[in-house]
Amino acid sequence: MKKHLSLLGLLPIYNRDGEFALAARMIIAIAFVPEDHVDRMFEQMNYIGTQNRFGSRRIPPFPPKVWSAYRRTLHSRDRTNNFAEAAHRRLKSELGVDHPTIWRFIDGLRTVQAGRDQHFECFVRGDEPPRKRQRYLLAGERIRLTVGRFHADSDLLYLRVYTVDSLDFPIKPLQLRSFAVCSESLMTCCLLVWLLMPARPVCLKEEIHKNVVVTGEYKLSEAPGMRSSVVVTDSKNHILFQRENFLETDGKFAFTTDEMDVFEVCVSTHAQHGIRGASREVSLDIRHGVDAKDYEQIAKAEHLMPLEMELKRMEDLSESLVQDFAYMRQREEDMRSTNETTYSRVLYLSILSVVCLLCLATWQVLYLRRFFKAKKLID
């Protein structure tokens, strides 16, 4: 696509205008639309084509069934049928040049053939083929889930969602995509959504202060025959919450911290015997501090007016603020004490090193003087 935009002189506009770039990528996303809806997609994107006297469009030189990747994506097959260009790019990467000579080409083919023979011998021996990298597996699964949610009543919205979700977002190392992260100094709520692969648990860690109420709510996408587990532990491997091998798709947990520590939440899923595992979309909403308290329930229990409830909330907020400032001040004092101790130790060590060097130099001078006198080299 960028090659054609460059030929048309539109590449600067593509790099500068976000809406133009999004519209250009939406054209590529049409390849992931069912073949029956391709014409309407082009019409909704202001496609101007030649119509005959019966009102139908002329037959395109490349019909949708040739380049459509919708069915291949749903069945987890290769999303491209341009194997000629793929082979050409692989050959260029193997040879290391764009236009090789005939001798360089022959030597490259011999090298490639030797490598392929080695892989073939490994397969014959029974070795497992090399797996794709985790980032590519998760990217393919995300594209498959997006394509599976196609709805005919929202064509342009589907193209926009596919373009943003599959082409624009970079893939993080942990494959976590944070749809909403709202954090303040006292109120903390964190909603994370990610794809969870079977038998590959994902663990999240967070440092929380002492005597803090922590609540969490988790939801998993539907997956028949899949069981899940959720475990919450601290740094000493004490289990604060554990729920294993459940079939439900949602749940909650809550606990109060006894001391300041790093807490870990692990979510895993696995398939039952004889059932093929599938990745699941997991959302985890963790709240602690003032945001974890349900002030409506507190108001009902204590018979508080709405204004009194807000005042209580502000009072808790102020108390948390004081505790945070006290904690930061204690940390500052600890760091200052550590710096002063380190400075004094370095000073004493430096003085000791200088004294040792002076003593060693004096001993060396006296020893050499006696040695030279014994050899009668000096008077």
In a domain, 130, yes or no: yes
pLDDT at site 129: 67
Q: Name the DSSP letter for residue 379.
A: -
pTM above 0.75, yes or no: no
For residues 249 and 158, membership in a common domain is answered with no
pLDDT at 114: 78
What's the CATH code of the domain at 259? 2.60.120.380
* One domain, residues 20 and 148: yes
Q: Give domain status of residue 312, yes or no.
A: no
Contact indicator for 147, 70 with CB cutoff of 8 Å: yes
228: left (phi over 0), alpha (psi -120 to 50) or beta: beta
Last residue of a domain, one of 149, 168, 187: 168
Running DSSP on this structure, what letter comes out for residue 337?
A: H
Indicate if 67 and 159 belong to the same structural domain.
Answer: yes
**Domain stops at, among 245, 262, 293:** 293
Helices (H), 195-302: 295-302
pLDDT for 64 equals 66
- What integer pLDDT is reported at residue 17 of this predicted model? 78
Query: 87 and 155 share a domain?
Result: yes
Same domain, 87 and 164: yes
What is residue 367's predicted lDDT score, i.e. its pLDDT? 93
pLDDT given at position 177:
41
Q: Tell whether 228 and 138 lie within a shared domain.
A: no
**Could you tell me the two tokens for 138?**
């998760």
Contact 230, 243 (CB under 8 A): yes
What tens-digit pLDDT sequence spans the chain (379 residues)?
677 778 888 888 878 777 777 777 777 777 777 777 776 666 655 554 555 666 666 556 556 666 677 677 777 666 666 666 677 777 777 777 777 777 777 787 787 777 777 777 777 777 776 666 766 677 677 677 666 666 654 555 566 655 655 544 433 333 344 333 333 333 445 578 888 888 888 898 888 888 888 889 999 988 888 889 999 999 888 999 999 989 898 999 998 888 888 899 999 998 877 676 778 888 888 888 777 777 788 888 888 888 888 888 888 888 878 888 888 888 899 999 999 999 999 999 999 999 999 999 999 999 999 998 888 887 7
3-class DSSP string for 132-196: CCHHHHHHHHHHHHHHHCCCCCCHHHHHHHHHHHHHHCCCCCCCEEEEEEEECCCEEEEEEEEEE
pLDDT at 230: 93
* CA neighbor of 131 nearest in space, from 200, 204, 216: 200
Domain that holds residue 284: 176-293
Q: Give start and end residues of each alpha helix (H) in 48-101.
A: 64-67, 70-74, 83-95
CB 165 within 8 A of CB 177: no
Evaluate whether residue 149 is within a structural domain: yes
- Residue 286: predicted pLDDT: 87
Question: Same domain, yes or no, for 146 and 183?
Answer: no
Rounded-to-integer distance, Cα 288 and Cα 256, Å: 9
Residue 83 forms part of a structural domain: yes
182 and 163 within one domain: no
| 230 C-beta neighbours (distance < 10 Å), count | 21
- Tokens at 322, concatenated: 């004081």
- pLDDT for 242: 92
Classify each residue of 78-95 as buried b or exposed e, where b means 16 or more C-beta atoms within 10 Å of its C-beta.
eeeeeeeeeeeeeeeeeb
Instruction: For residues 23 and 126, state if they share a domain.
Output: yes
Q: For the chain, what is the domain count?
A: 2
Handedness of CA 289, 295, 301, 303 (dihedral sign): positive
Measured between alpha carbons, how far is 257 from 259 in angstroms, rounded to an integer? 6
Q: How big is the chain, counted in residues?
A: 379
Same domain, 27 and 163: yes
Whether residue 123 is contained in a domain is answered as: yes
Position 278 in a domain = yes
> By the 8 A CB rule, do 216 and 256 touch?
no
Q: Order across the sheet with 280-289: list the strands.
A: 176-183, 187-196, 280-289, 213-220, 250-256
pLDDT at 185: 36
Write down the pLDDT at residue 119: 73
pLDDT at 222 (0 to 100): 86
Which residue in 304, 300, 292, 247 sits closest to 270, CA to CA? 247
Q: Is residue 75 part of a domain?
A: yes
Last residue of a domain, one of 273, 293, 313: 293
Q: With contact defined as beta carbons under 8 Å apart, do 166 and 145 qualify?
A: no
Both 77 and 128 in one domain: the answer is yes
31 burial level (CB within 10 Å; 0-12, 13-18, 19+): middle
Place of tokens 């015997």: 273
Query: CA-based diameter of the chain, in Å?
Result: 125
Q: Is 105 exposed, middle or buried (0-12, 13-18, 19+ CB in 10 A)?
A: middle
What's the pLDDT at 363? 95
pLDDT at 161: 57
Is residue 239 within 8 A of residue 274, CB to CB? The reply is no
Q: Would you say residue 375 lies in a domain?
A: no
Model pLDDT, residue 165: 52
214 lies in the same domain as 183: yes
